[in-house]
C-alpha cells in the first residue's frame, strides 16, 4: 500500500510540472477509471483458484508540446498459489488522433509488490518483488456513426529476470456531456502473464515457469 501511495504521489507531481503549460491551452483532461475483473489463475500450466478484484486508473492528458501524458494504474491479484500488487506509472504520447482512430504509445514503469508464487510440488513460497519498465500502447477504434469504440491496450517487458505481458481488449460506449466531460462504460477481456526462472517446478505434471491470470472485466471511466 505504501508503494501505491508513493506512485500516486509521483503521478500528481508529474501532473503539476506539466499543468502550467497545458492548462494555458485550455484543453487538458483528467480521467478516472474503475474496473472489476473476474480473474482465473493458472500456475505452471495448472488451473488454480479465481481472484475477483477491482482495479483503478488515473490519467492526465494535454496538448503541450514535448511533454508526455501521464497515467497510473493499480491492479491486485490475491489467490492461493499466486499473488501480486501491480502498480504502473505510464508516460505516453498521442501519436494519432482521428475521429476513427486514437492511438497512444510510450513506456510504463511497473512495481510488483506483495508478491507470492507457491511451488505446487514443495509448498515453498517465493516472492518476486521487483521494478521493471515496459513498452506501452493503447488504441480506440470508433464504430462509424456510433458512440461505440473497440479498445485495446498492451504492456510488454523482458527486464530484471521477469518477462511480462499485460493485454486488454474490449468495447466501450461513450456518454458525452458538456465540453470535454464524458463517461465511458466498457467491458472486455484482460490477461496478465509473468514468466521467471523462480517459478520453475521440478516435478511431473507441472509445466513451464509462468503464472497467468485472465478473465472478463467491466468498468467505467469518467473524463473531465
β-pairing, 101-118 vs 130-142, is: antiparallel
What is the count of structural domains for the chain?
1
Q: What is the C-alpha R_g of the chain?
A: 19
Tell me which residue range forms the domain holding 134.
2-223
The predicted model gives 11-17 an average pLDDT of 48
CATH of the domain at 134: 2.40.128
Closest CA to 136 of 86, 89, 195: 89
pLDDT above 50 (res 24): no
The predicted model gives 133-161 an average pLDDT of 96
* pTM for this entry: 0.88
Give the pLDDT confidence of 49-74 residue by residue, as tens digits. Answer: 999 999 999 999 998 889 999 999 99
pLDDT of 3: 47
Neighbour-count burial of 69, counting CB atoms closer than 10 A to its CB (0-12 exposed, 13-18 middle, 19+ buried): buried
pLDDT above 80 (res 13): no
Q: How many CB atoms lie within 10 A of CB 24?
A: 11
Closest CA to 84 of 118, 58, 33: 118
Neighbour-count burial of 37, counting CB atoms closer than 10 A to its CB (0-12 exposed, 13-18 middle, 19+ buried): buried
pLDDT above 50 (res 18): no
Amino acid at each position: 500500500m505504501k508503494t501505491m501511495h508513493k506512485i500516486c504521489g509521483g503521478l500528481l507531481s508529474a501532473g503539476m510540472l506539466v499543468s502550467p503549460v497545458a492548462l494555458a491551452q485550455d484543453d487538458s483532461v483528467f480521467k478516472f477509471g474503475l474496473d472489476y475483473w473476474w480473474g482465473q489463475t493458472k500456475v505452471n500450466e495448472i488451473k488454480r483458484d479465481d481472484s475477483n478484484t477491482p482495479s483503478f486508473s488515473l490519467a492526465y492528458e494535454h496538448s503541450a508540446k514535448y511533454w508526455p501524458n501521464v497515467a497510473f494504474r493499480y491492479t491486485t491479484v490475491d489467490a492461493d498459489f499466486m499473488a501480486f500488487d501491480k502498480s504502473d506509472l505510464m508516460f505516453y504520447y498521442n501519436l494519432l488522433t482521428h475521429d476513427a482512430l486514437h492511438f497512444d504509445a510510450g513506456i510504463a514503469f511497473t512495481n510488483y509488490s506483495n508478491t507470492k508464487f507457491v511451488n505446487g510440488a514443495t509448498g515453498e513460497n517465493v516472492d518476486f518483488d521487483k521494478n521493471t519498465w515496459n513498452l506501452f500502447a493503447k488504441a480506440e477504434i470508433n464504430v462509424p456513426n456510433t458512440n461505440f469504440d473497440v479498445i485495446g491496450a498492451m504492456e510488454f517487458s523482458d527486464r530484471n529476470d521477469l518477462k511480462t505481458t499485460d493485454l486488454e481488449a474490449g468495447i466501450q460506449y461513450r456518454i458525452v456531456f458538456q465540453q470535454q466531460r464524458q463517461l465511458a462504460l466498457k467491458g472486455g477481456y484482460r490477461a496478465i502473464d509473468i514468466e521467471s526462472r523462480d517459478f520453475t517446478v521440478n516435478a511431473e505434471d507441472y509445466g513451464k515457469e509462468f503464472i497467468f491470470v485472465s478473465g472478463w472485466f467491466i468498468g467505467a471511466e469518467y473524463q473531465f
